[in-house]
Amino acid sequence: MITRSRRLALALTVVLAAGAACQARDHRPSESGHPAPAPAARGFTLVASGDVLPHMSVIDRARFDAGGTGYDFRPMLAGVRSVVAGADLALCHMETVYGENGDYTGYPVFKSPPEVARGLAATGYDGCSTASNHTLDDGADGIRRTLDALDRAGVRHAGAARTEQESRTVTMHRAGTARVAHLAYTYDTNGIPLPEGQPWAVGLIDEDRIVADARTARGAGADVVVVSVHWGTEWQEAPDDRQVALARSLTAARDGRRPAIDLVLGTHAHVPQAYEKVNGTWVIYGMGDQIAGEMVNHEGAKDPRGNQSTLGRFTFAPPARPGERWQVTRAEFVPQLFDVDAGRVVNLNRALDRGAEVKAVRDRIRDVVLSRGAAQDGLVMGK
């Protein structure tokens, strides 16, 4: 298994307009003057997790964990570090933007400490989707601060952009011998208009655009294309009609002999939603909130489901023949809980000694995840 530093060293950013020309970079001559043989293809594991949504209680906890000076989000995530860092590629969803100089806020307009980025990096995340309904909570400045902080931490990002050129790039990671493209989009920005003159600042869900971007990423050399979508109906465990319809159309899109998209990762609903294999491609409708304060649902009641989530873990194997898709040979979900009292993410399968209540939460998450028949397609609960 390659280390985190090795993964980051191999990460690539490819300009979409460059197209397939980028593929030639992998075939450099050896000292004899002949092309060096390509390395033998090997598989990889990908881990993905849900919304990082720091309410003020979460921010206060990070300040306490830092000893009252600065903010430290590493202890919050330590409980899942072994799962995240153990993957060849780990992706999160950074729902909020970052503030500066202590100007940090929670709901309803979020500005989080930039130290979140360091916490994600220390946990083992290689990249995050950044397209959400909160991406424009502090306009273009918020996007800039967020992406700058992620860059400094060595965490790559997809879904928001500081420049038009950046908006026209695809984030490409190396995992094993595969090049994995990560694209990200959101259903809306809470009605906040895009910054003047910057219609490209946030990736908005548009089926034709998503498919076109995925095909262009393929042309630029992506072996696997992962699409993150911020979608769905808040507090609804069942995927809504728009989620189901978009999942069907995205997974049906083709690029030659293989699908245009290999994995769909959903966020936004605040609660865990089902996993489903659609047209032969895995779709997570909603992973839930990985980090969030105590949540109140649309009926004004405290709802513990808002602190429950899953990690998805997928093992990919190389194609049997060139030009075909990389296959998912193992699909897993890991149930999680954010303990709002302790301020810690908990891997529920490693906390069953806490008693029957923890087991009941884990089992409820399991039932939701499997509610659309994923077990029949091989999805299992991991640790």
Q: pLDDT tens for residues 200-253?
A: 999 999 999 999 999 999 999 999 999 999 999 999 999 999 999 999 999 999
d(CA 211, CA 102): 40
Taking all residues of the chain, what is their mean pLDDT, rounded to a whole number? 91
At a CB cut-off of 8 Å and minimum separation 6, what does 283 contact? 247, 251, 263, 264, 266, 275, 276, 277
Averaged pLDDT, 109-134: 98
Over residues 137-173, the pLDDT tens digits come to 999 999 999 999 999 999 999 999 999 999 999 999 9
pLDDT band at 279 (very low <50, low <70, confident <90, very high): very high
DSSP 8-state assignment for residue 195: P
In the numeric block, which tokens belong to residue 63? 């300040």
d(CA 36, CA 133): 46
For the chain, percent of residues with pLDDT exceeding 70: 90
Helix (H, G, I), strand (E, B) or coil at 289: strand
Put residue 101 in one of left, alpha, beta given phi > 0 → left and psi -120 to 50 → alpha.
left
Q: Three-state SS across 309-340?
A: EEEEEEEEECCCCCCCCCEEEEEEEEEEEEEC
Averaged pLDDT, 354-358: 88
Could you tell me if 218 and 175 are in contact, meaning their C-beta atoms sit under 8 angstroms apart? no
Helix segments in 133-270, DSSP class H: 139-153, 164-167, 207-219, 241-252
Over residues 2-46, the pLDDT tens digits come to 444 434 434 444 444 343 333 333 333 434 455 555 567 889 999
d(CA 235, CA 276): 19
Distances (CA, A) of 224 to 57, 159, 194, 255, 336: 38, 17, 30, 12, 26
Averaged pLDDT, 85-100: 98
Q: What is the pLDDT of residue 38?
A: 59
Entry field: residues in the chain: 383
Over residues 65-80, the pLDDT tens digits come to 999 999 999 999 999 9
Q: Which regions of the chain does DSSP assign to beta strands (E)?
A: 12-15, 44-53, 89-94, 127-129, 156-158, 169-175, 178-186, 224-230, 254-255, 258-259, 263-267, 275-278, 281-284, 289-292, 308-317, 327-339, 344-347, 379-381
Indicate whether 286 pLDDT > 60. Answer: yes
Q: What is the pLDDT of residue 280?
A: 98
In the numeric block, which tokens belong to residue 90? 């780990």
Q: What is the pLDDT of residue 355?
A: 84
Domains and CATH numbers, the chain: 42-381 (3.60.21.10)
d(CA 280, CA 265): 15
Over residues 302-334, the pLDDT tens digits come to 999 999 999 999 999 999 888 899 999 999 999
More reliable by pLDDT, 36 or 84: 84
Indicate whether 60 pLDDT > 80. Answer: yes
Q: What is the pLDDT of residue 372?
A: 98
d(CA 163, CA 318): 35
Q: What is the pLDDT of residue 3?
A: 42
Averaged pLDDT, 90-103: 97
DSSP 8-state assignment for residue 257: T
At a CB cut-off of 8 Å and minimum separation 6, what does 187 contact? 133, 204, 205, 229, 230, 231, 232, 268
Whole-model pTM: value is: 0.91
Indicate whether 89 pLDDT > 80. Answer: yes
